[in-house]
């Protein structure tokens, strides 16, 4: 595979993201999910039951899903543009793609926050923490590539640190879900939420698997460009799955 073949591939992926994002805005409803804060109404140690739960603001889901799709479209078009493609070529020839990691730090972070909201995590502090931990995971991916140029011994520490960071948001989401579902009289979220969690959890972990295979360098993955193509496909599949699952169940 050559870098030139990735140019139309990025244009196609960008166009698909753009169309999906536009449809989210045009066809979606004004449905939003609340972001909350808790005021204990007293000193530390005041029982939570005496506190006041307030809505800080709402997140419009149609615009949220559109945002991570349109972010991906923007970066695909940037790397395929006349001024962006030479830099993209230089990055790939050096065995890295910092464009990818910047985009993922924004789009995947928005995705995980929306997943948390759909699951029922509404606390503003928790959502901010989930967002920054996810962004840290992505930036470890950046470090992994920058620290491991081609034909050099692989330093795996950034990869494993990224895996540790990446576990955090999912532990928070699943932990929150389990505690709430097991409460007496709790009914839990609707069934489609479990479908979203399962499919996106698998999709997110496929990104880590792809990087691991790249740096093992076996078979087709000995060519860095093969891994780059897989990243583009994974990004399109994961974002489309999340967007359309949310759309089908909450935005119509």
Separation of alpha carbons 61 and 33, rounded Å = 7
pLDDT band at 2 (very low <50, low <70, confident <90, very high): confident
Q: What would the two tokens of residue 189 be?
A: 């979220």
* Contact of 62 with 29, CB cutoff 8 Å: yes
For 170, residues 6+ apart whose C-beta sits below 8 A from its C-beta are 201, 204
Nearest to 17, CA basis, from 28, 9, 7: 9
Nearest to 111, CA basis, from 21, 221, 190: 21
* Contact of 33 with 118, CB cutoff 8 Å: yes
Separation of alpha carbons 32 and 130, rounded Å = 19
Separation of alpha carbons 132 and 138, rounded Å = 10
- Res. 186: pLDDT tops 70: no
What is the predicted pLDDT for the residue at 202?
92
Query: What pLDDT digit, counting tens, does each position of 121-173 carry?
Result: 999 999 999 999 999 999 999 999 999 998 889 999 999 999 999 999 999 99
Query: What pLDDT digit, counting tens, does each position of 6-21 carry?
Result: 999 999 999 999 999 9
pLDDT band at 252 (very low <50, low <70, confident <90, very high): low
* Contact of 213 with 144, CB cutoff 8 Å: no
- Res. 251: pLDDT tops 70: no
- Res. 185: pLDDT tops 80: no
Residue 121 is given by DSSP the state -
């Amino acid at each position: 595979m050559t870098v030139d073949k990735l140019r139309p591939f990025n244009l196609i992926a960008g166009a698909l993201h753009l169309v999906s994002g536009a449809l989210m805005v045009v066809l979606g409803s004004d449905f939003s999910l609340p972001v909350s804060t808790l005021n204990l109404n007293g000193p530390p140690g005041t029982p939570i039951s005496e506190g006041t739960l307030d809505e800080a603001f709402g997140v419009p889901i149609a615009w949220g899903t559109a945002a991570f799709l349109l972010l991906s479209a923007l970066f695909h078009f940037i790397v395929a543009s006349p001024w962006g493609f030479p830099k993209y070529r230089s990055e790939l020839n050096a065995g890295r793609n910092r464009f990818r990691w910047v985009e993922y730090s924004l789009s995947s972070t928005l995705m995980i926050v929306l997943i948390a909201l759909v699951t029922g995590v509404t606390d503003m502090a928790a959502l901010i923490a989930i967002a920054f931990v996810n962004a840290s995971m992505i930036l470890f991916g950046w470090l992994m590539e920058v620290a491991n140029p081609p034909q050099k011994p692989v330093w795996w520490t950034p990869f494993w640190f990224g895996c540790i960071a990446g576990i955090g948001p999912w532990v928070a989401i699943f932990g929150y879900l389990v505690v709430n579902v097991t409460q007496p009289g709790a009914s839990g979220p609707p069934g489609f939420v479990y479908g979203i969690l399962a499919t996106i959890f698998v999709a997110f972990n496929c990104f880590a698997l792809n990087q691991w295979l790249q740096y093992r360098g076996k078979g087709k993955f000995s060519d860095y460009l093969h891994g780059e193509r897989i990243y583009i496909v994974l990004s399109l599949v994961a974002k489309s799955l999340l967007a359309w699952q949310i759309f089908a169940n909450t935005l119509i």
